[in-house]
Amino acid sequence: MPRREVKRPTSRLVQTGAAVGFGGPVPTPGTGGISFRIFRNRTLRGLANVQLRGLIIHGCAVHESSGGHRWATLPTRPILDDLGQIKRDAQGRSTFRPVVEFADPALAEQFSRMVVDAVQRHWPAAFRPDKDAMPEPPPANRGPL
């Protein structure tokens, strides 16, 4: 039986000047956009695919700190040791290195701000507190009090 691809509503491509206007004038409609998938792990809120003037960057991480600071990063990959295992830092967390990076920190900040703004606008559930991110299940039937 052929495998059917299921489209999730959180992974739609959104044509948005805020996310694609990075580095100059906003491209003409249909030349850029962002898609996003909510995925929570510590500060990570999800992964975005961002299109900028014909370049698609897959796997941009969108984060939010416990203090409410939000930022987006370009894709990274894990650092491996000599045995091919993921290296860990002193706290036991996986270590990563950038795949690509901006030469100018101001451009990196502009990119981050545009991606976060687009995610906030089109996927507001990504930044809701964990308890509010998903609908709560109905309360259990406890009977009369």
pLDDT tens, residue by residue, 77-122: 999 999 999 999 999 999 999 999 999 999 999 999 999 999 999 9
Q: Are 79 and 96 in contact (CB under 8 A)?
A: yes
What is the value of pTM for the model shown? Answer: 0.69
Is residue 1 scored above 70 in pLDDT? no
Looking at residue 32, its amino acid is G
DSSP tally for the chain: helices H, then strands E: 3, 6
Query: DSSP 3-state assignment of 42?
Result: coil
Higher pLDDT, 44 or 129: 44
Superfamily of domain 9-127: Stage V sporulation protein G (3.30.1120.40)
Question: Is residue 141 scored above 50 in pLDDT?
Answer: no
Cβ atoms of residues 115 and 50 within 8 Å:
yes
Cα within 13 Å of Cα(130), Cβ side: 9
- Report which of 137, 115, 135 is spatially closest to residue 125, judged by C-alpha positions: 135
Range of 12-16, 39-43, 141-145 with top mean pLDDT: 39-43
Domain residue limits, the chain: 9-127
* Pairwise CA distance, residues 66 & 42, whole Å: 9
The half-sphere exposure of 79 on its side-chain side, counting CA atoms within 13 A, is 9
